[in-house]
Amino acid sequence: MDRVPVLKIGEILLVSIQIDLDDQTALQLQEDLSDRIVETGAHGVVIDISALEIVDSFIGRMLSTIAAVSRVLDAETVVVGMRPAVAITLVELGLSLNGVRTALNVDKALEILAEAKQVRGVGVLTVRGSDDVPL
């Protein structure tokens, strides 16, 4: 079974999904990522799905779950690089990636995370909507 690598860059964990995810690999990633957040104390997670051609309801739910778990572990999750076709399909499916922040690319994601850290520094969590893919 394939495993998706989880890379640590500074205080950020970068997950770059370069293969078409099957269910087992997706579940494994969810588990690995949680362990790594606890292990590294990372404050942000960036998930790059630019290689994913198909995101069905299962993968979508998985992304939501990762974001929720990360948040509980004190890390913000940003999904980046979603293809337009995938986004359209998601919408047509009626899926909203609840609680998942999205960005167009990794640079934007890092900015979001840096801001969030500052905001968190004063104890207030604000949600910026301008960069979000409309869900």
Partner 1 sequence: MIDDWTPPPEPLLRMTLHGDQDVFVLRQRGREVAAAVRMEYQDQVRVATALSEIGRHAIGATVTFTAEVSAGPRLVIVVEADGIGVSPPEGTAAAGRLMDEVRVERDRISLTRGLPTQVGPERLAEARRELAASQPTTVLDELSVQNRQLVTALEEVQAHRDELLTLNAELEETNRGVMALYTQLSEELEQTNQGVVALYAELDERSAQLREANEAKSRFLANVSHELRAPVTAIIGLTRLLLDPRSEPLTSDQTHQLGLVQSSAADLLARVNDLLDLAKAESNRIEPNWAPVDLAAVFGQLRGTLRPLAKPGVRFEIAEPDVDQVELVTDEVLLTQVLRNLLTNALKFTDAGSVEMAALVLDGRLHIAVTDTGIGIPFAEQRRVFDEFHQVRGAHQAGGTGLGLPYARRLATLLGGGLSMVSEPGEGSTFTFDLPLRPAPEDDLDLPHVPAVLVVDDEAAARQVLREHLTGIAETVHEAADVRSALAIATRERPSVVFLDLRMPGGDGGELIAALAAVPDLAGIPVVVVTGVDVGHVPGAAAVLAKSVLTRRIVADVVTQVTA
Q: Which residues of the shown chain bind partner 1 in the complex (CB under 8 A)?
A: 20, 22-24, 53-58, 83, 85-86, 88-89, 92-94
Q: How far is the CB of 23 from partner 1 (least distance, A)?
A: 6
Q: Are 78 and 103 in contact (CB under 8 A)?
A: yes
Q: How far is the CB of 87 from partner 1 (least distance, A)?
A: 10
Nearer Cβ to partner 1 (24/105): 24
Contacts of 118 (CB under 8 A, 6+ apart): none
Nearer Cβ to partner 1 (51/54): 54
CB-based burial label for 70 (10 Å; 0-12, 13-18, 19+): buried
Contacts of 36 (CB under 8 A, 6+ apart): 6, 8, 13, 42
Nearer Cβ to partner 1 (52/112): 52
Q: How far is the CB of 4 from partner 1 (least distance, A)?
A: 15
Give the residue from 63, 117, 65 showing the smallest Cα distance to 90: 63
Nearer Cβ to partner 1 (59/113): 59
Q: How far is the CB of 104 from partner 1 (least distance, A)?
A: 19
